[in-house]
């Protein structure tokens, strides 16, 4: 099931992206 691993990886990248955006907003303030 390579699809499952790919979904987990994409979900992980999405979380990292959101955390990065949140950190950027907080850092900008």
User: What's the confidence (pLDDT) of residue 4?
Assistant: 87
Alpha-helical regions (H) of 1-29: 2-28
Structure-token pair, residue 27: 């850092």
User: What's the confidence (pLDDT) of residue 11?
Assistant: 96
User: What's the confidence (pLDDT) of residue 29?
Assistant: 76
Q: Which residue's entry shows tokens 């990248």?
A: 13
Domain that holds residue 11: 1-29
Whole-angstrom distance, CA of residue 15 vs CA of residue 9: 10
**pLDDT, tens digit, 9 for 90 and up, residues 1-29:** 567 899 999 999 999 999 999 999 999 87
Whole-angstrom distance, CA of residue 17 vs CA of residue 19: 5
Q: How many domains does the chain have?
A: 1
User: What's the confidence (pLDDT) of residue 1?
Assistant: 56
Structure-token pair, residue 24: 């950027």
Could you say which DSSP state residue 28 is in?
H
């Amino acid at each position: 099931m390579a699809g499952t691993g790919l979904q987990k990886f994409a979900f992980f990248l999405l979380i990292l992206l959101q955390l990065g955006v949140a950190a950027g907003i907080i850092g900008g303030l």
